[in-house]
């Protein structure tokens, strides 16, 4: 089984960290192909960043179809381009926020999301509503740690995130934590050991979900909203993205 993990931002070192985490949980017959977007923002920290990350992300999905991938993980907590990617892909496509929230709702009666900048909390709430998770989600908490500071030497990111997780348990009554950034993937186990409750990060959760769906032989529906994009000619710089078949 071949699963493509796509980092929609252009920071390759984040992709490498996520790939290590994903490969650590992948089944014996699963190959994880990690890809970094070739165009767009170095980090996704708002709606504008997210919008401009989509062409690079979709280019990687299109390439994955030519490469014979069995499924995809969109490795950004905003789940950018998720539905558009499903139009392009034959196999299952899972976003890491989607995976993490659903996993947390199964193993605990409630959870809180601990994310990066305060400006992204509305995006997380939007996804919780989209996925029917608002009845489980007690709060979305920001640490005001920038995405690119997560692995910067000397950064206080891990301490700030762990402290915010503790506040979510004490102040919000959360029973589990969802880490709200793909760049936090390698922090989950250490923080779980520190705070004593389940800590879910979406990179590994999404990888296992894609693995399970593809293993069951389930593909993305190709009628209705997830049908292939309609063939038409796009103009300007996006001409190369023109759908070529109906």
Domain span(s) for CATH 3.40.50.12500 in the chain = 2-96+204-241, 97-201
Select the CATH number that applies to the domain covering 2-96+204-241 from these four: 3.40.50.12500, 3.40.980.10, 1.20.1580.10, 3.30.390.10.
3.40.50.12500
CB-facing half-sphere around the CA of 44: CA atoms within 13 A: 30
Maximal CA-CA distance, the chain: 55
Residue 95 has a CB neighbour count (10 Å cut-off) of 26
198 φ/ψ angles, rounded to the nearest 5 degrees: -60, 135
CATH 3.40.50.12500 at 97-201, yes or no: yes
Pick the closest to residue 207 from 13, 8, 52, 31 (CA basis): 31
pTM exceeds 0.85, yes or no: yes
Helix (H) or strand (E) segment spanning residue 235? none
Measured distance CA(195)–CA(5) in Å, rounded? 29
The one-digit pLDDT tens for each residue of the chain (246 residues) are 999 999 999 999 999 999 999 999 999 999 999 999 999 999 999 999 999 999 999 999 999 999 999 999 999 999 999 999 999 999 999 999 999 999 999 999 999 999 999 999 999 999 999 999 999 999 999 999 899 888 887 788 889 999 999 999 999 999 999 999 999 999 999 999 999 999 999 999 999 999 999 999 999 999 999 999 999 999 999 999 999 864
Q: DSSP per residue over 178-190, as a string?
A: EE--GGGGGGHHH
- Residue 166: is it exposed, middle or buried by C-beta count within 10 angstroms (0-12/13-18/19+)? middle
């Amino acid at each position: 089984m071949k699963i493509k993990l796509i980092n929609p931002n252009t920071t390759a070192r984040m992709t490498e960290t996520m790939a290590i985490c994903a490969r650590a949980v992948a089944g014996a017959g699963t190959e994880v192909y990690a890809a970094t977007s070739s165009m767009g923002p170095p980090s996704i920290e708002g709606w504008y960043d997210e919008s401009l990350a989509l062409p690079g992300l979709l280019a990687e999905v299109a390439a994955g179809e030519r490469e014979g991938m069995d499924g995809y993980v969109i490795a950004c907590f905003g789940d950018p381009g998720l539905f558009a990617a499903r139009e392009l892909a034959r196999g299952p496509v899972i976003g890491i926020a989607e995976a993490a929230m659903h996993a947390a709702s199964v193993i605990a009666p409630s959870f809180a999301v601990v994310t990066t900048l305060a400006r992204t909390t509305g995006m997380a709430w939007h996804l919780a509503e989209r996925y029917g998770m608002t009845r489980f989600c007690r709060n979305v908490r920001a640490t005001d740690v920038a995405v690119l500071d997560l692995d910067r030497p000397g950064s206080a990111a891990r301490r700030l995130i762990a402290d915010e997780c503790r506040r979510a348990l004490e102040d919000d009554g959360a029973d589990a934590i969802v880490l709200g950034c793909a760049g936090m993937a390698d922090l989950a186990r250490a923080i779980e050991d520190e705070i004593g409750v389940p800590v879910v990060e979406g990179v590994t959760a999404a990888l296992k979900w894609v693995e399970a769906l593809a293993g069951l032989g389930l593909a993305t529906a190709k009628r209705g909203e997830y049908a292939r994009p309609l063939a038409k000619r796009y103009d300007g710089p996006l001409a190369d993205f023109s759908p070529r078949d109906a």
